Amino acid sequence: MKKAIRHKNMDKIHPPGPVILLVDDNPRNLQVLGKLLLKEKYKIEFAVNGESTLEWLKNRQFDLILLDLNMPGMNGFEVCKRIRSDKEMYEIPIIFLSAESERESILKGFEVGAQDYVTKPFDSRELLARVKTQLDLKSKTEKLEKINKWLSRKIDNWLKASVSKPWSVETNDLSAKLIEFDKNQSFVMKDICLELNTSIKEIEKLIGKNNDPNIKHQFEEIVKRMEDSVGKLGKL
């Protein structure tokens, strides 16, 4: 069995960034793809068959896989199925590259779990645009999951605080986090961030009213509204 090919001195050539795994049994195709992606400053690794692809994925994290369809032994469809059935790697975006342009082949590619399907010979600009789209989507999804988990923990702590001392909560770190997250996001995300920031301001007004007998009830209502906003993030 052929082993995965490692690009020599890769870490010295390129700064940290998205890492793409190129899978093709044709060395010429790997050379063309590699040259194209290296020019765009992506980090790349090579695999020449399905077995070496899965071996790579056990030992390294990748941001995207460009996967040939017709390979000896395990074909691209089977490789994609294996990846999607593994909880450690199933979220990696996959773009099929194939000379097969029949509708059935393209549909099957999506059915087994690929995010995109590009036919050969491909247009370089189109392929790069599709690569960028998948990498951007992956980055935003990861950022969304991260902020969702962080907000859930923060709100859970605030709900616990509402039972004892709601006026003692800290809001500065949450405000800063939302401002950072709000940058360059979609309008829907911006609206949710606005909802959360509005709730934070309401909480800040309550902090100075620690003698108010209704403060705990008011605080709890605000935090529950924030829970609803976080729930919207989870559904995006």
Average pLDDT over every residue of 194-219 = 64
- 3-class secondary-structure state, position 46: strand
Is residue 78 within 8 A of residue 85, CB to CB? The reply is no
pLDDT of residue 7 exceeding 70 = no
At 190, list the tokens: 């911006």
pLDDT of residue 30: 94
Q: Angle at CA 65, nearest 5°, toward 82 and 10?
A: 125
Query: What's this model's pTM, rounded to 2 decimal places?
Result: 0.66
Establish whether the linkage from the previous residue to 121 is cis, with ω within 30° of 0: yes
- Per residue in 13-66, pLDDT (tens digit) is 444 689 999 999 999 999 999 999 999 999 999 999 999 999 999 989 999 999
Higher pLDDT, 3 or 146: 146
Between 199 and 84, whose confidence is greater? 84
- The CATH class for the domain spanning 10-122 reads alpha beta
Amino acid at 202: E
The neighbouring-strand residues paired with 123 are none
Contacts of 137 (CB under 8 A, 6+ apart): 93, 115
How far is Cα 183 from Cα 49, in angstroms, rounded to an integer?
Answer: 41
